[in-house]
């Protein structure tokens, strides 16, 4: 069993926790949504590495069911012993976190801050590694992936993967991302900025052009964390045909995008497609109501 139930944020946390430890910090402060997978995995990684963990959880999603606020990731955050602050919808998460960091400092402790999704340049490095692993494994098995399908939330996974592919001499347009958080245009420029920051940090002399990136906004629906019919269908299909669990916020929407692209012919028959499963299945328990209809 992977740490904390597993998921894509572990690759980022490997670097973020390292950065915090190296800098002599004793507390990690994380901001995110109520059902943040990053918050859950940060809490687990802190438990494992002996850091205190404070989660500042904002109401980013208009869902007020009891399970949304108490089950899924929140239940696990509590199990991992994190100190949880669930904000009111009107609260400013950034301002709240800043105040909390000051308060922590006044008690003589030192707080390291991990922003939304852990998508700092250091956090992205976990996915640069992933791109190298992918390039190596693809060579070993002799399969060239025409498309690598992923969700894009805070953009760190996409940015790290794209930077890694560029360094490995592969084109970043192989990645087909489906935004689940911000509108496609905004997601594109934010992701391109992150890629450039990662390349610069690694002293790699290249910059990405935004038309090298492929981000579709078609699966966003009414917004972040709001279920869509195609997401529910995609989660069900993979569960019933393969016994695999997608999550309702990220992977479910990205897989729905993949199915749509296959049906529309945007993905040619016989293509080699790699879908990266990013974890997040605890989110299913917080969204039970979206799956109850048969």
Active site positions, annotated: 36
Q: Computed over its alpha carbons, how large is the radius of gyration of the chain?
A: 19
Give kind and range of the element (H or E) at residue 47: helix 37-49
Q: At 234, list the tokens.
A: 């995609």
Q: Which is nearer to ligand PLP, 20 or 162 (CB)?
A: 162
User: What are the angstrom distances between the C-alpha of 12 and each of 88, 167, 210, 293?
Assistant: 28, 19, 23, 36
Q: Which is nearer to ligand PLP, 9 or 100 (CB)?
A: 9
Among residues 242, 243, 246, 244, which one has the least CA distance to residue 290? 246
Give CA 12 to chain center in angstroms.
9
Smallest separation (angstroms) from ligand PLP to the CB of 294: 25
Smallest separation (angstroms) from ligand PLP to the CB of 102: 27
d(CA 127, CA 132): 9
Q: Which is nearer to ligand PLP, 111 or 161 (CB)?
A: 161
d(CA 74, CA 112): 21
Smallest separation (angstroms) from ligand PLP to the CB of 156: 3
Residue ranges in contact with ligand PLP by CB under 6 A: 7-9, 37-38, 117, 119, 151-158, 247, 250-251, 278-280
Q: Which is nearer to ligand PLP, 190 or 267 (CB)?
A: 190
Q: At 205, list the tokens.
A: 């002399």
Q: Which is nearer to ligand PLP, 158 or 174 (CB)?
A: 158
Residue 136 makes CB contacts below 8 A (sequence gap 6+) with none
Smallest separation (angstroms) from ligand PLP to the CB of 79: 18
Indicate the SS3 state at residue 216: strand
- Residue indicated by tokens 């572990």: 10
- The residue number whose beta carbon is nearest to ligand PLP equals 280
Smallest separation (angstroms) from ligand PLP to the CB of 190: 10
């Amino acid at each position: 069993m992977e740490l904390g139930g597993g998921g894509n944020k572990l690759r980022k946390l490997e670097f973020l926790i390292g950065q915090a430890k190296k800098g002599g910090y004793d507390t990690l402060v994380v901001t995110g949504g109520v059902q943040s997978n990053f918050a859950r995995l940060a809490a687990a990684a802190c438990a494992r590495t002996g850091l205190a963990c404070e989660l500042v959880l904002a109401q980013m999603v208009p869902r007020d069911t009891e399970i949304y606020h108490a089950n899924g990731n929140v239940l696990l955050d509590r199990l991992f012993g994190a100190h949880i602050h669930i904000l009111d919808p009107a609260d400013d998460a950034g301002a709240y976190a800043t105040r909390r960091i000051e308060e922590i400092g006044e008690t003589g402790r030192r707080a390291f801050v991990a922003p939304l999704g852990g998508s700092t340049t250091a956090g992205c490095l976990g996915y640069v590694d992933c791109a190298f692993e992918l390039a190596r494994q693809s060579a070993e098995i002799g399969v060239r992936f025409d498309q690598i399908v992923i969700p894009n939330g805070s953009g760190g996974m996409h940015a790290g993967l794209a930077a890694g592919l560029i360094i490995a001499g592969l084109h970043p347009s192989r990645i087909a991302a489906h935004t689940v958080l911000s509108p496609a245009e905004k997601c594109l420029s934010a992701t391109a900025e992150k890629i450039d920051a990662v390349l610069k940090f690694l002293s790699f002399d290249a910059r990405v052009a935004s038309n090298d990136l492929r981000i579709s906004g078609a699966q966003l629906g009414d917004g972040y964390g709001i279920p869509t019919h195609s997401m529910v269908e995609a989660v069900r299909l993979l569960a019933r045909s393969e016994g695999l669990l997608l999550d309702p916020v990220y992977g479910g929407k990205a897989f729905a995008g993949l199915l749509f692209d296959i049906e529309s012919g945007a993905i040619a028959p016989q293509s080699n497609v790699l879908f990266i499963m990013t974890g997040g299945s605890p989110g299913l328990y917080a969204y039970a109501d979206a799956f109850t209809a048969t």
